[in-house]
A and B are shown apart, each in its own frame.
Chain A
Amino acid sequence: MTGAVAAPAGGERPRTGALAAALRNPRVWFGGLVGLALLLAAVFAPLLAPHDPLQQDLMLGQLPPFWVPGAEPGYPLGTDSLGRDLASRLIYGARVAVIVAVVAALAAAVLGTVLGLLAGFFGGWVDALVSRLVDIWMAFPAVLLAIVLVAVIGTGLEAVIVAIAVIDWTRFCRVIRAETLVQKEQDYVLAARTLGLARLRTLYSEVLPNVMPLLLTLLTLEMGIAIIVEAILSFVGLSISSDEPTWGGLIAEGRQYVHDAWWIMSFPILCLIVVVLGLNALGDGLRRVLDPVMRR
């Protein structure tokens, strides 16, 4: 990270400026690397995992990780109580995390952004309706809402994704609505309207691109939240079936045998902490880089 690549911040080429600034930001680097590692683990799980994550071997149950006496070569992080390789289960667990992070966060983002844009741009009864809905939604604690939703729509990955989107759209809606209110008053919106652009068209082609940086930041943070919510639901047994390797499911199993095999629970917790801190750093870094006021 030398200063040689310093691009003009803002000014004539704002896009390259933002990109260069992003590449000079240590938070973006850390978060980006964590995100990339997660994605690679998920995509190349069959190549990376030393064993089949479902393959049981009761003779090799609760093997410790490699640095603890009693470890078996070939099982670097040890095994769970059914003798399944922990490293492999962790790597395959990244798949569920990535799917939930991407699909659920995008779904929540789309729902919240559309409603937030409409409420902020049109105001009046649309705004009143959306804002009231957000208030009611946020009065209800998320964990409880998730439980009720899962009780109604049933368990499984789709249900988890729907539940996250239905609960977390308010995060996007509130911020995007406030930002739209600011953008609406800018000269460029007035110019577009004077040029005769239809209102919805103005919203789509003028306002939306300008709330995009903010949206990107929120989306990154939401990905971390979605991963945690999925881990919570699989921990309590309300996500996909317990045979499928998920980090939350591993934690639930490890919690049961925590006095005999502390490692079963420790590694998935470590994975979650690193991923959440990484995505937080990425979101925070992006916010600093993309916000022209903070970049200076």
Chain B
Amino acid sequence: MPAAFVLKRLALAVPTLVGVAVIVFVLLRVVPGDPIAMMIPPGATEADIANLRRVYGLDSSILQQFLQWAGQILQGEFGTSISMRRDVLDLILGRLPATLELAVAAILLAVALGTGLALLGTWGQGGPLEVLVDGFTGLTLAIPDFLWGLIFILLLGVAWPILPISGRIDPRLGVEFATGFYLAESLLRGEWRIFGGIVAHLVLPAVALALPLVAAVARLLKASLQAVLQEDYIAMARARGMGRWRIILREGLQNAAIPTVTLGGVQFTFLIGGTVLIERIFSYPGIGNMAIGAVIQRDLPLIQGLVLTFALIFIVVNLAVDMSYAALNPRLRR
């Protein structure tokens, strides 16, 4: 991929980030009227309030306030959480690996399952297998992922309890980790029992999170595969005596992947947003669960830091999708 293309995309991400920062600033600092009123502990005196006002620079103009705020953010100063009395950045960085592991697991699962279903549906085109695949994707899309998560809890956590439904790791194991990436760390250290336990905790939230994307990938990839298989060069391959699976995999998949990657990118951002709720449902200790807690506690500095973190993730994901799209489709690189 040419460096100019990468640089151009990176440059385009900057105004988006500034836009998000302005929106967050306006929504959380200007709209509520008096942010100090939301920050003061009960029993604060007039002098305390005036002091806080000066500390947060609220006696200067809005533009000055924004620049000062943005400057602090750029230096990684997100302030102190009101409810947990700890540095916001530390709190977020402590929870972020859990969310990243969950999201990556869900994405891998969605691509694998979605591609598998699309291939099955294409292979069994016009037969009962395709009806089955269509029925599955239809049902998956009709019921929102919020309900899927809860259905999984009832079926696989309670009625037939084969998988854990809360948290990230069995607390009784009492393992210490050097990083927040429990899954990767236990794998690298070769501690299979712990790794297995973490995977078991990850299965249900990851599947619930992945389902909408599985359905979307399966549907679109199947449609594009079936369209590609109508092309002349497929008939040529068939005439040369290539087998059905070989045609689908070798000739079809590569050409059908481009629209799926574009859609996958859009859906991936939905998936990141979905972690908020899925983490809550499965008591999973990531930044999404933390965001809901922060809103309930009205912990303004923490909300602000989390929203900016999510925005940064979305921008990075979109960038990555743009680039993989360009890598797949050489016509777009110019």
Contacts and interface: CB of A to CB of B under 8 A. Distances in A.
A151 B295 contact: yes
A272 B154 CA distance: 15
A147 B150 contact: no
Contacts of A228: 144, 146-147
B154 A151 contact: no
A148 B300 CA distance: 10
Interface in B284-334: 291-292, 294-296, 298, 300, 303, 307, 310, 314
A259 interface: yes
B146 A141 contact: no
B216 to A, nearest CB: 15
B270 interface: yes
A277 to B, nearest CB: 6
Interface in A123-165: 136, 139-144, 147-148, 150-152
A269 B314 contact: no
Name the prevailing secondary structure of the A interface residues.
helix
B147 A141 contact: no
A236 interface: yes
> In this complex, which of A147, A231, A255, A262 has the most chain B Cβ atoms within 10 angstroms of its Cβ?
A147
B151 A139 contact: no
Given A151-B303, A232-B146, A277-B142, A144 B157 contact: no
B307 A139 contact: no
Contacts of B157: 258
A144 B143 contact: no
Nearest to B270: A141
A141 B158 contact: no
B4 interface: no
Contacts of A237: 292, 296
A142 B150 contact: no
Contacts of B269: 139, 141
Given A141-B269, A277-B142, A265 B150 contact: yes
B281 interface: yes
A148 B27 contact: yes
B146 A147 contact: no
A150 B314 contact: no
A266 interface: yes
A273 interface: yes
Contact of A144 (B144, B276, B281, B298): B276
A251 interface: yes
Given A136-B19, A141-B269, A232-B277, A269 B147 contact: yes
A101 interface: no
Contacts of B296: 236-238
A170 B111 CA distance: 28
Given A151-B303, A276-B144, A265 B154 contact: yes
A266 B146 contact: no
Given A272-B147, A276-B143, A148 B159 contact: no
B2 to A, nearest CB: 26
A273 B147 contact: yes
B28 A276 contact: no
B124 interface: no
Contacts of A235: 146, 280-281
Contacts of B144: 228, 276
Given A141-B269, A141-B270, A262-B158, A236 B314 contact: no
Given A142-B273, A262-B159, A236 B142 contact: no
Interface string A225-246: 0001001100111100000000
A272 B148 CA distance: 11
A217 interface: no
B11 interface: no
Contacts of B147: 228, 269, 272-273, 276
Given A148-B303, A238-B292, A139 B314 contact: yes
A273 B314 CA distance: 30
8 contacts: A139-B269, A141-B274, A151-B295, A151-B298, A228-B147, A231-B146, A251-B150, A269-B151
Given A139-B269, A238-B296, 13 more contacts: A136-B19, A141-B274, A141-B314, A143-B277, A144-B276, A228-B144, A236-B292, A237-B292, A237-B296, A251-B150, A258-B153, A259-B158, A262-B154
Interface of B: 16, 19, 24, 27-28, 31-32, 142-144, 146-147, 150-151, 153-154, 157-159, 165, 269-270, 272-274, 276-277, 280-281, 291-292, 294-296, 298, 300, 303, 307, 310, 314
